[in-house]
Structures are given as structure tokens and as C-alpha cells.
Structure 1
Amino acid sequence: MVDFPNLDLLGIHIKVDTGAFTSSIHCHNIEIEDNNLKCQFLDPDHDKYHEKYFTFTDFVQKKVKSSNGIVENRFLIKTEILIFDQIYDIELTLTERGSMKFPVLLGRKFLSKKFIVDTSRKDLSFKNKIIKI
């Protein structure tokens, strides 16, 4: 579980995916307007959905190969993530993850040289958050 303070998203369940290079977040209503990227995060049926639109001036388009082998163009934004009581810069590609269990994937580009992944354990950041409260 992580927070994205700049996106007003708190307590978001994530999946660590060491097979994915880039990290991604579920996004919809993506539009380019006056050279700005405008979008909403999560789905209306998600318990953390807040209907807010966000506008980004600093973004790029990137080709990303998904786990099913299909290459798609995605927008990439930079923001901050709060995990284990520490804030990190993170790049996120915007994608449709509405049918997925987790709205966010953390890929190895973000994880590298910051974390050790122990696949035998789960919910460590959530447990850490509860202990601090």
C-alpha cells in the first residue's frame, strides 16, 4: 500500500512486478489539451476514486510492451510516491488497468537499488503504516 501525495491518492494497493520495466497506474479520460496532458486516476467504482482531473505539462509518450506482448504508446508522467515512510520520485505510464486487481504496478526501474523483493512476504508497506499509526 502506497500514497501518491501529488495525485491526492492515499492508501493505494499496488503490485510489485519485477518482470515489468516501467511502473504503471490505471488512468482514464486521457486528453491532450493546449499541449497539456489531462486525466483522471482510478475508476469511479474504486473506493479511493475522487473524480479530480490532473493536468501535466511535463510528460512524454513511450512505447511499452505489455505482458501479453502487445506494444502500445503510453503517456509517461513523473510524480512522487510515499512508501515505507519515504518519498521517492517515480515515473508512471498511464494505462487501462480497470480489469486488473491492482491499479498500480511497480516495475524494476523504480525498485532497482532501493528495495529487495521477498516474494514469500506481502503487504509489508501496509503493515509498516499500521505500526506507525
Structure 2
Amino acid sequence: MSVAKTRRRPRSWVGWREWVGLPALGIEAIKAKVDTGAATSCLHAIHVRRYRGPEGERVRFQVHPLQRRTDITVHCDAALLGDRVVTSSTGHRERRLVVRTPLAIAGRRFAIELTLTNRDSMGFRMLIGRRAMKGRLLVDPGASYLAGAADSEAPRRQLRSP
């Protein structure tokens, strides 16, 4: 009896923090914490507004992609998947909107679900949770930027954005 083997792409090694891109949202570079303690991924979002478009429910929001910088803003628009109650590490429960968008990391691109929340007081504007990593990424908790540094021009381009 033969067992059919499925071809799987090898998982990529990443550090506990990485530069990533969210190309469909217009975010070329954002520093993300790769958080194995979080089930869901989340993105810093402000001025979040749901609306009905011709193809269904959507959400508009703004992102400050660079840590400790509020002068750079990326305006985003995405199809709304729905909402979800998320419990933080401190036990705080919050209902968040959920979008699905491609994530670019370690030379790979794959779709992930992101919850939207205000992370102004947090050190990272984005968290990559276990659901996004499963079968794709392996984490070395003692390393940073194993996937490579950000394109040196990406943060500069975002700084020049209106």
C-alpha cells in the first residue's frame, strides 16, 4: 500500500520581531511582533469606519505604520470579514473588526486574518499570531529580523507619503 505524499513548502524561520509588508493595504513596511502567545493577528488601526460598498461590507481605517510616529498615516480600505471578541493577555475583552489581507514576510506572501484595534500605547503596531504562522513560519525567540531587514527605502517612502 502506498501513501501519497503531499508537497509542502518548507516553513521559514523568523525572529521574535520582523519587518513585514501588507501590500493590499498599501503598507510597504511595518515592524511586527511575532507573538506565539497570541492566537490572532492584529493591526494598529484608528478612525475605523464600517460601510456598505457595492460588493458588500467594507471597512476604512488609518494606520501609523512606524513605531512612535504619528505623523505618517496610511489610509486603508478592505473587505470586512466580520467581527470577533478578542481577549488580551491582561484579560481585557474587546470586540474587533476582522479583515483578510496578504502578508509579505521572509520572501513569502500569504493571506492572513487581522483584527483591527488601536495600538498607540503598544510597542508594536502589528502582532502576528499563531493562526497566521501555522504551517508557514518557525520562530526563533532569541533572534530578530531573520527574514531580513526592511527594504531600506520602504520606511523612507512612507515618511514622504502625504
TM range (shorter): 0.7 to 0.9
Paired residues in the alignment total 129
Give the CA RMSD over aligned residues. Answer: 2.3
Q: How does 1:54-73 map to 2 (within 5 A)?
A: 54-73=76-95
Q: Which runs of 5+ in 2 are unaligned?
A: 1-18, 153-162
Shift of 1:129: 5.9
Going from structure 1 to structure 2, the CA distance change for 1:55 and 1:10 (only over 3 Å counts) comes to: closer
- Distance in 1, Cα, partners of 2:79 & 2:142: 40
Which residue identity does 1:50 align to in structure 2?
T
Amino acid at match of 2:106: F
| Pairing partner for 1:13 from 31, 41, 45 | 31
Deviation (angstroms), 1:51: 4.2
Determine whether 1:38 maps to 2:63.
Answer: no
Q: Deviations over 1:61-112 (max 9, x none)?
A: 1011111101110001000011011111110000110111110000001111
Structure ID, larger Rg: 2
- The one of 99, 103, 125 aligned to 1:77: 99
Q: Which amino acid aligns with 2:139?
A: V
Q: Which runs of 5+ in 1 are unaligned?
A: none
3-state DSSP class of the match of 1:24?
A: strand
Q: Distance in 2 between matches of 1:89 and 1:43?
A: 19
